Amino acid sequence: ARTKIGLLFGGCSGEHEVSINSAKAIASALAQGDNLYHYEVIPVYIAKNGIWYAGDIAHNILKTKQPLEVETNQSRWQFPPLVSEIEVWFPILHGPNGEDGTVQGLLQLMQVPYVGSGVLGSAMGIDKIAMKTAFAEAGLPQVKYMAVTRPQIWSNPCVFPKLCDEIEATLDYPCFVKPANLGSSVGIAKVRNRQELETALDNAASYDRRIIVEAGVVAREVECAVLGNDDPKASVVGEISFNSDFYDYETKYTEGLAQLHIPAQIPDAIAAKIQAMSLQAFAAVDAAGLARVDFFYIEATGEVLINEINTLPGFTATSMYPQMWAATNVPFPELVNRLIQFAIERH
Ligand code: ADP
Ligand code: MG
Ligand code: MG
């Protein structure tokens, strides 16, 4: 009998539409490899209000790529009946409520194998402050940063100017202000002066209780894909280039604004260093299954700084993660097969 794969997609995050695209790519890969792998895909769609749908509704969303119109304020949490038949879960939800350990906790409780990192790895991987603490502990070089919390920004008007003074004393302009627990560059600002810093902190606080401020670097952006559990492997290194001020939401999701280069045109020794650092980062946050690790490469000095790890990276047909594996001799359908096998192995 074919193993029933619960493809969990959509979700309550800003990356809902990206998730639909990732799921569609995975579903077609599984259909393509059908005679090879013997999986049956059961799409399970989480609408923007948190309600789960399987059956015709979920199939239809994969086909049309149109999110379901729902009342977002009417959240009831419901499982469709098909859910109990699922033998392996493949959550492909990006950002909060999916990549952050919340869904992983639920799947862990269900005692069914699932693709990707567990609760700790997912939670560490989404929180830029926790992530950087783990990277520092592992001795991985990274930009200088400061952790800030919402109460320092909002609660007490006397604290805020002191906080900004402290940031200015610690980090030079330009610096980057980011909500700690998002992705896709949502809520991120590059700031060049005090006024922009104040506005950016206030804005970031509207997204998250935890905020990070980082020293800005001028660097090439390179990435590496990791696959496996206890003995993970690193892919060839890829590079992203663009003309925008930084790799913001618009640049990420507007066709033609960013170019992918696989493999990256960098010295072999630098690529080897990036691969080794990727595996260290994977272990540092206790990731499993898959992760994409992103770096800044400062060509002038040969320095490589780790930027972040993404435990459920974009997985559309044109995304970096599957493309870097394709360039490492793991084609898309085989990549999906291996991820499912790693989920079973880890259970
Ligand atoms: P996300 O998890 O949303 O992708 P990132 O931390 O990767 O957030 O930041 C998004 C983009 O912002 C990066 O790809 C890069 O272009 C730019 N960026 C972020 N931090 C820095 C930094 N410290 N110096 C220079 N550019 C940065
Ligand atoms: Mg990220
Ligand atoms: Mg990023």
Q: Express each pLDDT in 229-284 by its tens digit.
A: 999 999 999 999 999 999 999 999 888 999 999 999 999 999 999 999 999 999 99
Residue position matching structure tokens 């670097």: 217
Domain co-membership, 210 together with 225: no
Which 8-state DSSP code applies to residue 114? B
Q: What is the model's pLDDT at position 156?
A: 79
Closest ligand 1 atom to 143 CA? 23
How far is residue 341's CA from residue 114's CA, in Å, rounded to a whole number?
10
The one-letter amino acid code at 314 reads G
For residue 31, the SS3 value is: helix
Judging by DSSP bridges, how do beta strands 175-179 and 189-191 pair with one another?
antiparallel
**Within this chain, do residues 99 and 134 fall inside the same structural domain, yes or no?**
no
Determine whether the shortest distance from the Cβ of 307 to ligand 1 is under 6 A. Answer: yes
Which ligand has the shortest distance to the CA of 221? 1
The number of the ligand 1 atom at minimal distance from the alpha carbon of 186 is 3
How many structural domains compose the chain?
3
Do 99 and 153 lie in one domain? The reply is no
Q: Residue 76 above 70 pLDDT?
A: no
pLDDT at 13: 86
In this structure, are residues 21 and 103 in contact, taking their beta carbons and an 8 Å threshold? no
57 in the same domain as 105: yes
- pLDDT band of 75, cuts 50, 70, 90: low
Is the CB of residue 214 below 6 angstroms from any atom belonging to ligand 1?
A: yes
Find out whether the beta carbon of 143 lies less than 6 Å from any atom of ligand 1: yes
Same domain assignment for residues 20 and 66 = yes
From ligand 3's centre to the CA of 284, what distance in Å?
Answer: 18
Closest CA to 210 of 281, 105, 131: 131
Question: 92: domain range?
Answer: 3-115
CA of 77 to the centre of ligand 3 (A): 30
Neighbours of ion ligand 2 (CB under 5 A): 183, 308, 310
The CATH number of the domain where 107 resides is what? 3.40.50.20
Beta strands in 105-191 (DSSP E): 145-149, 175-179, 189-191
**Distance in angstroms (rounded) separating the CA atoms of residues 6 and 263:** 32
Dihedral sign, Cα of residue 284, residue 169, residue 176, residue 269: negative
How many angstroms separate the CA atoms of 292 and 277, rounded? 12
Residue 45 sits in the same domain as residue 169: no
131 and 254 inside one domain: yes
Q: Is 217 in the pocket of ligand 1 (CB under 6 A)?
A: yes
- Give the residue, by CA position, lying nearest to ligand 1 atom 23: 216
Picking from 295, 311, 327, the residue at the C-terminal end of a domain is 311
Place of tokens 């007490």: 156
Using one digit for the tens of pLDDT, what is the confidence trace for 150-195? Answer: 999 998 788 999 999 999 999 999 999 999 998 888 999 999 999 9
For residue 145, how far is its CA from the centre of ligand 1 (angstroms)?
13
Q: How far apart are CA 335 and CA 315, in angstroms?
A: 11
Residue among 85, 81, 102, 142 nearest 11 (CA) = 102
**Cα within 13 Å of Cα(178), Cβ side:** 24
In a domain, 282, yes or no: yes
Annotate 230-285 with DSSP letters as a single string.
SS-EEEEEEEEEESSSSS-HHHHHSTTSEEEESS-SS-HHHHHHHHHHHHHHHHHT
Q: Is 308 in the pocket of ligand 1 (CB under 6 A)?
A: yes
